[in-house]
Amino acid sequence: MAGPRSPGEFELIARYFAPIAGRAGLGLIDDAALLRPARGYELVVTADALVAGVHFFADDPPASIGRKALGVNLSDLAAKGARPDGFVLTLALPTGWTEDWLAGFAQGLGVMAGEADCPLIGGDTVSTNGPLTLSITAFGSVPAGRMVLRSGAKPCDVVAVTGTIGDGALGLKAHGPDRPAWVGQLPEADRAFLTDRYLHPQPRVALAAALQAHASAAMDVSDGLVGDLAKLLAASKAGAEIDLDAVPLSPAARSAVMADPALAELAWTGGDDYEILCTIPEGEFPSMVAAAEAAGLSLARIGRVTAEAGNVRYTEAGRPRSFARGSFAHF
Segments making up each domain of the chain, as ranges:
9-143, 158-321
222 marked among binding-site residues = yes
User: What's the whole-number mean pLDDT along residues 263-280?
Assistant: 96
More confident residue, 327 or 96: 96
E-strand stretches of the chain? 41-51, 83-94, 120-128, 133-143, 158-162, 217-221, 239-243, 275-280, 299-306, 312-316, 319-321
The fraction of the chain above a pLDDT of 90, given in percent, is 82
User: Hey, what amino acid is at 179?
Assistant: R
Residue 124 Cα to chain centre, angstroms:
23
123 marked among binding-site residues = yes
Poorest-confidence range of 55-59, 150-154, 168-172, 288-292? 55-59
Beta 41-51 vs 133-143: how paired, if at all? antiparallel
171-200 in b/e burial notation, b at 16+ Cβ within 10 A? bbbbbeeeeeebbeebeeebbebbbbbbbb
User: Which pLDDT score is estimated for 6?
Assistant: 62
CA-angle at 186, arms to 270 and 244, nearest 5°: 40
76 marked among binding-site residues = yes
Between the CA atoms of 238, 243, 247 and 251, what dihedral angle is there, to the nearest 10 degrees?
170
How far, in Å, CA of 67 to CA of 9, rounded? 22
Q: Which fold has domain 158-321?
A: Phosphoribosyl-aminoimidazole Synthetase; Chain A, domain 2 (3.90.650)
46 marked among binding-site residues = yes
105 marked among binding-site residues = no
100 marked among binding-site residues = no
197 marked among binding-site residues = no
Q: What are phi and psi of 142, to 5 degrees?
A: -135, 155
Residue 316 Cα to chain centre, angstroms:
27
| CA atoms within a 13 Å half-sphere pointing along the CA-CB vector of 1 | 2
User: What's the whole-number mean pLDDT along residues 196-211?
Assistant: 97
**Contact yes or no for 154/280 (Cβ under 8 A):** no
223 marked among binding-site residues = yes
48 marked among binding-site residues = yes
User: Which pLDDT score is estimated for 327?
Assistant: 53
43-54 residue pLDDT tens: 999 999 999 998
User: Which pLDDT score is estimated for 20?
Assistant: 72
Homologous superfamily of domain range 9-143:
PurM-like, N-terminal domain (3.30.1330.10)
User: What's the whole-number mean pLDDT along residues 15-24?
Assistant: 74
298-318 residue pLDDT tens: 999 999 999 999 899 999 999
167 marked among binding-site residues = no
User: Which pLDDT score is estimated for 14?
Assistant: 73
The neighbouring-strand residues paired with 312 are 240
157 marked among binding-site residues = no
